[in-house]
């Protein structure tokens, strides 16, 4: 934990969770929720546009991604890109959504320790490391497409991560306020913080990964892996 507050009086009991443990709300892995029932050709076109945008980001950074550039790279008309995503922010959000769905598929049904089949503590450790490296690979995109501050925590992608961490914490430390602890843990994985630590402070990713494992150990009162 980052700091400790010592109090002489007894702490109040933890509040009960606001949502049932067995009915988590996750993103639907597959077609985007705002485009139900896409025809096969439309789905292929959308995937091609996202692939073209991702390639442009890899080659030129987020600043080099425009609706016109994506249209040229995907060999479609500019109007097609606007009709599919609305504007540049919509395109960037669609890229993040696509990545979030792949990550969710990994921790919901992928191989352990990130996916099912490993103890919850091992899954929580693996989850944070996976999110750290995913964020580092897509840092410019995540910062450019991040929702405004008042909407960040209500975004479905953020909610799916928080729900997963909360479920794991309830299994590891059932007497804790897992809802708030999930927010605490996820705050250490914030893209803006990762940007500051890696690009402005020059910290290696290995140090951030080790710090995540240490934080999990302290929050869950377990031993850190050797």
The per-residue pLDDT for 36 is: 47
Residue 101 has which token pair? Answer: 């769905």
Instruction: Give me the mean pLDDT over the 105-113 stretch.
Output: 92
Higher pLDDT, 86 or 155: 86
Query: Which has more confidence, 191 or 142?
Result: 191
DSSP string, the chain: -------SSPPPPPPPPSS-TT----PPSSS-TTSTT--HHHHHHHHHHHHHHHHHHHHH-GGG--HHHHHHHHTS-HHHHHHHHSSHHHHHHHHHHHHHHHHHHHHHHSSTTTSTTS-HHHHHHHHHHHHHHHHHHTHHHHHHHPPPTTTGGGSHHHHHHHHHHHHHHHHH-TTS-HHHHHHHHHHTT-HHHHHIIIIIS---HHHHHHHHHHHHHHHHT-PPP-
Average of per-residue pLDDT across 3-21: 36
Asked if residue 66 lies in contact with residue 78, where contact means CB atoms within 8 angstroms, the answer is: no
Asked if residue 8 has pLDDT above 50, the reply is no
pLDDT digits (tens, 9 = 90+) for 130-154: 999 999 988 888 887 776 777 777 7
* Average pLDDT over all residues of the chain: 81
pLDDT at residue 61, as a whole number: 84
Distance in angstroms (rounded) separating the CA atoms of residues 45 and 38:
10
pTM, two decimals, is 0.70
pLDDT recorded at residue 123: 97
Residue 1 near residue 218 (C-beta atoms within 8 A): yes
**Environment class of residue 105 by beta-carbon count within 10 Å: exposed (0-12), middle (13-18) or buried (19+)?**
middle
Scored b (16 or more CB within 10 A) or e, 55-72 reads ebbeeeebeebbbebbbe
Question: Which pair of structure tokens corresponds to residue 29?
Answer: 């892995």
The count of other CB atoms within 10 Å of the CB of residue 98 is 16
Return d(Cα 44, Cα 50) in angstroms, integer: 10
Q: How far apart are CA 188 and CA 47, in angstroms?
A: 31
């Amino acid at each position: 934990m980052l700091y400790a507050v010592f109090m002489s009086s007894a702490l109040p009991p933890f509040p009960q969770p606001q949502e049932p443990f067995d009915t988590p709300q996750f993103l639907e892995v597959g077609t985007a929720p705002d485009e139900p029932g896409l025809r096969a050709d439309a789905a292929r076109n959308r995937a091609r546009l996202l692939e073209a945008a991702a390639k442009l980001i890899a080659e030129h950074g987020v600043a080099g991604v425009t609706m016109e550039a994506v249209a040229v790279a995907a060999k479609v008309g500019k109007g097609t890109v606007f009709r599919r995503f609305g504007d540049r922010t919509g395109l960037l959000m669609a890229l993040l959504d696509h990545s979030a769905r792949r990550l969710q598929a990994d921790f919901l049904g992928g191989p352990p320790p990130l996916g099912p089949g490993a103890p919850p503590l091992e899954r929580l450790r693996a989850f944070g490391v996976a999110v750290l490296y995913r964020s580092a690979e897509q840092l410019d995109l995540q910062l450019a497409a991040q929702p405004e501050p008042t909407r960040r925590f209500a975004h479905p992608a953020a909610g799916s991560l928080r729900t997963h961490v909360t479920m794991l914490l309830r299994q590891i430390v059932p007497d804790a306020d897992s809802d708030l602890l999930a927010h605490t843990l996820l705050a250490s994985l914030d893209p803006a913080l990762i940007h500051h630590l890696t690009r402005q402070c020059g910290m290696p990713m290995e140090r951030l990964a080790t710090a995540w494992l240490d934080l999990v150990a302290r929050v869950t009162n377990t031993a850190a892996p050797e």
